[in-house]
Structure formats: structure tokens, C-alpha cells
């Protein structure tokens, strides 16, 4: 595939939230720049969705294509890869209903929350968990959790390990209330 660039690589052509993917938040050769980010074509030399887009309407997001929803979206995958695919259609719907700029604003807030968690409460084993949780929970739920972290957990004299355990529990409890499984589907 020739070079493929996009203005906003945090939300992919196919609807994944690249800014919430563990490979986006890593260092080294496995780091992904997000959809259409710098050197994306070198990391993903053959993306079927990009190839399809180049043959059709050449839109910024698949939901803007005249063929949407095509077979890919009318029969969505029940499997995940590094990132969950569960919210692709609902995220596309948000972008359509609220407007793309509002959706990007929400995604940017989620990315900030994820980066905060990774920078302050990652014991080297929580990146995937935080990425999935921030992706699947609503921004409102995430703000509630962040308030609880700020108001309670940060003010306690707990070890980092104890704080992480309490934070994971906050995410798990909120996910359970919403009937969300915080695991990738394999």
C-alpha cells in the first residue's frame, strides 16, 4: 500500500478508537501511529478497509461511504484484536448524530483519561485493562471513576499496588453495572 495519511489518526477509517489501543500507547517497533498516522503504511502495508475506501468513495470514515453499512458493518466481527471492536457501530452513530467534532472531543477526553491512568497507575500489567475499560465505558462513567480516584484514592496513604487494586475494582464495578465484560473477545 502506498503512503496513507489522515488528519486525525486517533479515530480510524473503520471506526476503531486508535487512541485507546495498547499499541498506540507503547514504545519500540510495535508502536502503531494510529490510522493514517506517521509511517502507518509501513506498519500496516495491506489494510483491506483502506483498499476498499480507495476503490469506492474515498471518505474519511466508513460511515460516510455511500455503501455504508456494507457487509463488514451489517455482520460485525465477534472477535477483537489488540483493541475491541464492540463500540465501532455505536461510535459511528455518535459521530453521525452528534457530529464528528463532538465525537473527537469525547475521544480526546478518553485518551487523556487513559494517558493519566497509564502514567500514574500502571504497574506494567494494566495497560490492556485500562485501554479496554476506557474504550467500553461511557465518558460519564469514566469521569465518575476519575472523581473517585481524585477524591478518595489519591488522598489515602495506600501503596501504588493497593491504589491500582482499588482503581481496577472501580472499573470492574462500573462495568458490571453496565453489563460490560472488560476483556477482549478471542
d(CA 114, CA 20): 7
d(CA 18, CA 35): 7
Q: What residue spans define the domains of the chain?
A: 18-177
Burial grade of 157 (CB within 10 A; 0-12, 13-18, 19 or more): exposed
Residue carrying C-alpha cell 502495508: 45
Taking only the tens place, the pLDDT of each residue in 63-78 is 999 999 998 898 888 8
CB 123 within 8 A of CB 165: no
The C-alpha cell that represents 114 in the structure block: 487513559
pLDDT band at 1 (very low <50, low <70, confident <90, very high): low
Taking only the tens place, the pLDDT of each residue in 20-74 is 999 999 998 889 999 999 989 888 888 899 999 999 999 999 999 999 999 889 8
Q: Which residues contact 141 (CB under 8 A, 6 or more apart)?
A: 174, 178
Rg (CA), the chain: 17
Amino acid at each position: 500500500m502506498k503512503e496513507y495519511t489522515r488528519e486525525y489518526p486517533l479515530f480510524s477509517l473503520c471506526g476503531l478508537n486508535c487512541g485507546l489501543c495498547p499499541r498506540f500507547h507503547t514504545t519500540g517497533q510495535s508502536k502503531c501511529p494510529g490510522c493514517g498516522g506517521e509511517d502507518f503504511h509501513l506498519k500496516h502495508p495491506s489494510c483491506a478497509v483502506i483498499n476498499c475506501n480507495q476503490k469506492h468513495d474515498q471518505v474519511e470514515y466508513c460511515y460516510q461511504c455511500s455503501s455504508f453499512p456494507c457487509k463488514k458493518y451489517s455482520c460485525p466481527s465477534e472477535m477483537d484484536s489488540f483493541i475491541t471492536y464492540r463500540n465501532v457501530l455505536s461510535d459511528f452513530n455518535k459521530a453521525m448524530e452528534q457530529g464528528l467534532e463532538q465525537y473527537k472531543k469525547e475521544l480526546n477526553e478518553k485518551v487523556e483519561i487513559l494517558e493519566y491512568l497509564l502514567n500514574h497507575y500502571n504497574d506494567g500489567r494494566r495497560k490492556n485493562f485500562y485501554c479496554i475499560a476506557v474504550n467500553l465505558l461511557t465518558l460519564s462513567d469514566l469521569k465518575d471513576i476519575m472523581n473517585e480516584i481524585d477524591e478518595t484514592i489519591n488522598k489515602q496513604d495506600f501503596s501504588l499496588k493497593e491504589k491500582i487494586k482499588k482503581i481496577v475494582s472501580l472499573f470492574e464495578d462500573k462495568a458490571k453495572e453496565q453489563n460490560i465484560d472488560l476483556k477482549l473477545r478471542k
